[in-house]
Amino acid sequence: MSPGRRDVLLNIDGLSTGYGGVAVVRGLDLTVHAGEVVALLGPNGAGKTTTLLTISGLLPILGGAITVFGESVAAMAPYQIAHSGLAHVVEDRSLFFDLTVQENLRLGLNGDRAGRAKAYERAMEMFPALQPLMSRQAGLLSGGEQQMLAMARALVSGPRLLLVDEMSLGLAPIIVQRLLPIVRKVADETGAGVLLVEQHVHMALTVADRAYVMSHGEVVLTGDAQKLAKRRDLLEASYLGSASL
């Protein structure tokens, strides 16, 4: 199905956002549909994390609008946005290192008993490697296991929209190669939309449907992921800030 015919889960229209009233992201338009994986790419400092934090309600909107499931996030507190079905895997994973894997997972549970059981089961199917680690403290897991736990904790909330900020941070490429396809699986099997910030551009493009490349706070390139993957020239130019569109 073409994205145009699917539900729009996230709509960003002319967004400006930043810190202390100073915009570091300007004029951003972006959409994520149900079942779609959208990659948000760009060099360090481009504004990707800032964008995700604003979608989650953790940074104020300075201009433009964001709607999640048709509701303006400006009118909601971060916990309300999370309860509406948005899960955010932050860059530092934000695990509770002193708690066990199981306890960390319990903190992610959301919704009614039946919904929680289903989401928990699905998360365990996606990350079977966590099963034997349930009673281990999160702080004792490897980097890859911690990332799996952070993703699983987001999935047990049964999200309709998943924001993932640099899951590959600090991980060997081989681990990233194993983890990224799970994001695709989440979108395909649960119908959730995924907005994926990733430094491994080519790996991200293999799992994404569409991509946006940001540079200096603005989108400089956007399009179909498969087509972009073949345009190394355009991608490199966009990272260097000289893409001609």
Q: With binding defined as CB under 6 A, does residue 49 bind ligand ATP?
A: yes
Among 23, 24, 34, 90, binds ligand ATP (CB under 6 A): 24
CB of 4 to ligand ATP, least distance (A): 28
Q: Which is nearer to ligand ATP, 53 or 130 (CB)?
A: 53
Q: With binding defined as CB under 6 A, does residue 28 bind ligand ATP?
A: no
Region near ligand ATP per CB under 6 A, out of 39-47, 103-111, 114-122, 188-196: 39-47
Strand partners, 164: 89, 196
Give start and end residues of each alpha helix (H) in 5-64: 48-55
Among 33, 48, 88, 93, binds ligand ATP (CB under 6 A): 48
Q: With binding defined as CB under 6 A, does residue 19 bind ligand ATP?
A: yes
Separation CA 182–CA 130 (nearest Å) = 14
Query: What values do phi and psi take at 172, rounded to 5?
Result: -70, 145
Residues in the chain, how many?
245
Separation CA 168–CA 233 (nearest Å) = 24
CB of 92 to ligand ATP, least distance (A): 11
Q: Which of the residues 163 through 182 are near ligand ATP (CB under 6 A)? A: none
Q: With binding defined as CB under 6 A, does residue 45 bind ligand ATP?
A: yes
CB of 34 to ligand ATP, least distance (A): 25
CB of 230 to ligand ATP, least distance (A): 24
Q: With binding defined as CB under 6 A, does residue 57 bind ligand ATP?
A: no
Query: What values do phi and psi take at 238, rounded to 5?
Result: -70, -35
* Spatial contact of 234 and 221, defined as CB atoms under 8 Å apart: yes
Separation CA 234–CA 221 (nearest Å) = 8
Separation CA 44–CA 91 (nearest Å) = 13
Q: Which is nearer to ligand ATP, 24 or 243 (CB)?
A: 24
How big is the CA angle at 131 (ends 128 and 135), to the nearest 5 degrees?
A: 155
Q: Which is nearer to ligand ATP, 24 or 34 (CB)?
A: 24
Number of helical (H) and strand (E) elements in the chain, helices listed first? 9, 10
Q: With binding defined as CB under 6 A, does residue 21 bind ligand ATP?
A: no
Interface with ligand ATP (CB under 6 A): 19, 24, 42, 44-50
